[in-house]
Amino acid sequence: QVQLVESGGGLVQAGGSLRLSCAASGRTFSSYIMGWFRQAPGKEREFVARINGDGSTTYYANSVKGRFTISRDNAKNTADLQMNSLKPEDTAVYYCAAARYKFGLGYRTADEYAYRGQGTQVTVSS
């Protein structure tokens, strides 16, 4: 069982930056793929980024590529999302998620992750 708690959300002006953090419980954090998703009002949940267990491989949605950076610190059991050049369309509740690796999965949909946090609100004003 993994428990995830997000922090770092808030209100920021367009062009600004925020850093989200996801704190995970458990002693096997490095064995999990970590992902970030977001959901805006009236829209479906959207993949944002993911990172593999040792942090060597990352993958981003096209909408955030070049602006967001996912990272992890396995010694601290945290996975962060640095968000730069924020746009109003980035406004959403952001969730982190954790999944054990299984061959053949892309880890770009929420149902591929067994664990999810409660989310943190990010609001970008124009």
Q: What is the pLDDT of residues 47-91, one digit of tens each?
A: 999 999 999 999 999 999 999 999 999 999 999 999 999 999 999
User: What is the structure's pLDDT at 27?
Assistant: 79
Q: What does DSSP say about strands 32-39 and 18-24: parallel, antiparallel, or unpaired? A: unpaired
Query: Per-residue pLDDT for 37 more than 90?
Result: yes
If you average pLDDT over residues 84-109, what whole number do you get?
A: 94
The Cα 60–Cα 23 span in angstroms is 20
User: What is the structure's pLDDT at 101?
Assistant: 87
Confidence of residue 103 (pLDDT cuts 50, 70, 90): confident
Q: In 3D, which of 71, 87, 69, 93 has the Cα closest to residue 16?
A: 87
DSSP state letter for 27: S
User: What is the structure's pLDDT at 1?
Assistant: 83
Q: What percent of the chain has pLDDT over 70?
A: 100
User: What is the structure's pLDDT at 105?
Assistant: 85
Beta-bridge partners for 96:
36
If you average pLDDT over residues 43-49, what whole number do you get?
A: 97
What are the helix and strand counts (H, E) for the chain?
0, 11
Who wins on pLDDT, 1 or 31?
31
Those residues with Cβ within 8 angstroms of residue 81's Cβ, 6 or more apart along the chain or in another chain: 19, 20, 21, 22, 36, 48, 49, 68, 69, 70, 94, 96
Q: How many CB atoms lie within 10 A of CB 104?
A: 4
User: What is the structure's pLDDT at 102?
Assistant: 85
Query: Per-residue pLDDT for 36 more than 90?
Result: yes
Q: In 3D, which of 97, 50, 91 has the Cα closest to residue 71?
A: 50
